[in-house]
Chains A and B, each alone.
Chain A
Amino acid sequence: MTLGDFWFIIAAIFWVGFFVLEGFDFGVGMLHAVLGRNDVERRVLINAIGPVWDGNEVWLIVAGAVLFAAFPGWYATMFSALYLALVLTLVALIVRGLSFEWQRKFDDPRWRSFWRWGLTVASAFIPFLLGLALGDLLHGLPINSQHEYTGGFWQLLTPFGLWSGVTFVVLSLLSGATFLSLKTTGELHERAQQAATAIGVVAVVVTFGFMTWVHVGLSSGFVPEPLEAVALLGVVVAAWAARERADGWAFMAACVGIGGTVGSLFNELFPRVMISSTNTAYNLTVHNTASPPYSLKVMTVMAAIFLPIVLVYQAWTYRVFRRRLSVPKDDPDDGPAPATAPATARDGGPAATPAEST
């Protein structure tokens, strides 16, 4: 295994980590306006991811920067090819990021509903567009011998890319619904479980389609790779566990499902990193886009030191905020009503603390 191969794996891990962690944040973002019937309920739902969403989003920043540093050629071609799709992604990321911090800073129904719907729509757009982006890598885009993209915006909307986008949205929804089942009590908990059950069925169908397409359509052979089987199994278990009201298992399995799905994409891609639909000779590969060994060695040392530290403190965050949230009793429509978290949390499940699943 060359250093380039190793860094392909690390890059894949960052993308997987991003979708596992931020996937449920997107799901919660999409669901909160639907599951929360009033302002206080919606606040409770957003606060379930409040302490962690920002740290989770950094996984995307690092995933992008790792491509830049370890595979400059890949980063350059991918980001310039996906130009308008990324502009949309950025707009969605901006609206979403601001909505958390700004929505509560001004008491006005229009202001709040702008940010509420901004959060909802942006949370759907981001996994869709990033799914499209990653799907396109595998589907292939018109790329010339100079590794330059020769298409326009509409050529980005490849059928497989679109399906990947939908898959990532549905899996984010599943992840978000199971996360909320794990983090809420009372009526919200009921609704979250119902949503998870319903989404579970859709997720199984969509993921099955995705895996079939990846393996049979874009690759050769019918025997699935182990990772693909695990991912599909994860989604099936999540759907089943959601039906059985096993919140902890459902969330863990959903994480396996979404992580495995992203992983499968990278697995099928290797050792290519971007496929040229013009001519396979123009494919971008690990070999022809990786940084020279010295840069990769420096990165290896830095990652070996800091990645474990990051994992420790992020896991600790989940531990600190492991409790379920409930809707405050005295139901003032607004204002700083303290939400009480019953110490008698009813989470005895195996994944009562999401910390263990990170």
Chain B
Amino acid sequence: MSLDLARWQFASTSIYHFLFVPITIGLAFLVALLETGWYRNGDATYLRLARFFGALLLINVAIAVVTGLIQEFEFGMNWSVFSRLVGNVFGGPLAFEGLVAFFLESTFLGLWIFGWNRLSKKAHLACIWMVSAGTVISAVFILAANSWMQHPVGYTLNGAKQPVLNNFFALFTNPVFLWSFVHVILASLVTGALIMLGISAWHLRRQTEVDAFRRTAVISLVVLLLSTPIAIFVGSELGVVEATYQPMKIAAAEALWNTCPSHCAFSAVQIGGGKNDQTPTQIILIPSLLSILATNHVDGEVQGLNQLNAEYQKEFGPGDYVPNVFIQYWSMRVMAYLATLVMLFALWGAWLLYRHRLDRARWFLRIAPWAVVVPFLMNTAGWMLTENGRQPWIVQGLMKTAQGVSTSVSTTDVWISLVVFYLIFIAFGIADTWLMIRYGRKPLDHDPIARFLNDSTPSAEGGPSDEDEPALVY
């Protein structure tokens, strides 16, 4: 099989899948918050908001689930040698993700969608929290699996040089896992909050349902203000962890070809660079910042690509162990710079809120809907940084990507699947975006369910009413 095609396919699938995943993690939590607002003080506005943003959540859950399915299958389809060798370690978290998280998420989502007057208020609220918990638990397992590829732990090598799991818990105390899990959850909250803020701003600017959308604007701003700085901090700590276990990844992210003993500078921008250009023109050097980012110390040493490559060649045999430097350098910067912009944007919003000018702030409200694009760029850049930086390894230090690919699948087959998946990704990506915009611009519903739930308190014992079915949902 063509290695490049298989890599291209898996990278595309992962990036595409992860456009939708953070929306579901972030929005499930935010919708749960809104419904909690309704539950606690019976204010119907929160109910209407929960249903409004719930519709957006559902549009994305559908596509997040099906693209996740492609990924699960692709391990066996395109990376069967990898799967056969490490399935005993790597397959476990995937199985548990299904067993613990997907069942929870899908079952309670069904209850949430269809249960509006079948369940008591409390049970219904519990359902959306279960969905939210499911999305987070799913991240636990999948990131434990991914972190094992970055920094394998909890195994021994058997006679055939095959990693064999001997400590399951080590997968979850893996420092790479701990930091990346928190980072991903926070990034998802940022994503969800920016979507909510963008939509709220769009409505506020048109002065529709000002009272309702001011609330979601406030909620999303608060979430944004809390999660963005922590996400940035956790991300930079993750960088320190990676510098320990995957020094190549960090050296490549700075395009640092030769070891820098201390007070290493960080270049804001560079012209040129890449594998054949070890002396790019660096612009705006920030002193000591690279040392801080990579080691937490101003005088920390950062190893260079050439030295690391020589070391790896000694340990693992001849070969090129340097990942694509251009992708590393720029994905890191795109992510970090955009995160900074988001932080400033959130502060601007907070200031407007403090001055009670949020719902009349023309520029802020005009920019916010466009800011919705930003988290997707950041998330994609973040994963490119992580996964590209692992190359040429599929499991760091244990197995190279080139060794993991299926040998029995022909290049034609991969071409066919690649074209088919791309057509699907493009068509349904457009449809999803279009549906999101359409639903984001809809007025808040005064739908029959909302009315039903307001007029008649679900029967005294809090049990389901026997009177009416809710509207046909599908």
Contact = CB atoms under 8 A, between A and B. Distances in A.
A92 B467 CA distance: 38
A81 B73 contact: no
Interface stretch (B109-117, B264-272, B311-319): B109-117
Which residue among B110, B164, B416 has the maximum number of chain A CB atoms within 10 Å of its CB? B110
B81 A76 contact: yes
Interface stretch (A148-156, A167-175, A252-260): A148-156
Give chain B's interface secondary structure class: helix
Interface in B64-106: 65-67, 69-70, 72-73, 75-78, 80-81, 83-92, 94-100, 102-104, 106
Contacts of A3: none
A97 B424 CA distance: 13
A281 interface: no
Interface residues of B, number: 82
A103 interface: yes
A68 B102 contact: no
Given A51-B111, A52-B110, A66-B95, A294 B408 contact: no
A79 B80 contact: yes
A98 B106 contact: no
A70 B413 CA distance: 27
A339 B117 CA distance: 12
Contacts of B103: 55, 58, 62, 306, 310, 313-314
B469 A69 contact: no
B336 to A, nearest CB: 34
A314 B108 CA distance: 9
Nearest to A55: B107
Contacts of A302: 92, 95-96, 99-100
A223 interface: no
B207 interface: no
Contacts of B87: 68-69, 71-73, 75-76, 291
Nearest to A105: B435
B63 interface: yes
Please classify how large the interface on chain A is, using the bins under 10, 10 to 19, 20 to 34, 35 or more. 35 or more
B95 to A, nearest CB: 4
Contacts of A70: 91, 95
Given A58-B106, A64-B73, A303-B99, A46 B408 contact: no
Contacts of B448: 336, 338
B118 interface: yes
Given A295-B165, A307-B99, A340 B80 contact: no
Interface in A314-331: 314, 317, 320-321, 323, 325, 328
A320 B115 contact: yes
A325 B469 contact: yes
Contacts of A100: 62, 474
A174 B75 CA distance: 34
Contacts of A50: 110, 113-114, 473-474
A325 B408 CA distance: 49
A191 interface: no
Interface in A76-120: 76-84, 86-87, 90-91, 93-94, 97-98, 100-106
A245 interface: no
B422 interface: no
B469 A93 contact: no
A211 to B, nearest CB: 29
Nearest to B447: A336
A291 B88 CA distance: 5
B63 A80 contact: no
A346 B116 CA distance: 24
Given A79-B80, A294-B164, A310-B103, A299 B95 contact: yes
A80 B62 contact: no
Given A66-B95, A75-B91, A321-B114, A336 B471 contact: yes
B471 A62 contact: no
Contacts of B408: 80-81, 148-150
A1 interface: no
A241 interface: no
Contacts of A314: 103, 107
Nearest to B405: A80
A98 to B, nearest CB: 5
A285 interface: no
Interface string A40-56: 10011011001111110
B91 A54 contact: no
Contact of A98 (B63, B98, B470): B63
Contacts of A104: 473-474
A337 B468 CA distance: 11
B469 A339 contact: yes
B406 interface: yes
A321 B118 contact: yes
A205 interface: no
A77 B97 CA distance: 22
Given A76-B83, A152-B410, A294 B165 contact: yes
Contacts of B80: 76-77, 79-80
A341 interface: yes
B123 to A, nearest CB: 9
A85 B185 CA distance: 35
A77 B75 CA distance: 11
A218 interface: no
A90 B158 CA distance: 35
Given A75-B87, A90-B73, A336-B447, A62 B98 contact: yes
A75 B83 CA distance: 8
Given A61-B69, A292-B88, A91 B424 contact: yes
Q: Which 10 A-B pairs have the closest CB atoms?
A: A72-B87, A79-B76, A69-B91, A68-B91, A291-B88, A101-B62, A336-B471, A76-B80, A62-B98, A55-B107
20 contacts: A47-B474, A51-B111, A51-B113, A52-B107, A61-B69, A62-B98, A64-B76, A69-B87, A73-B87, A76-B406, A83-B409, A101-B58, A105-B59, A148-B408, A302-B99, A307-B99, A310-B99, A317-B110, A320-B115, A340-B469
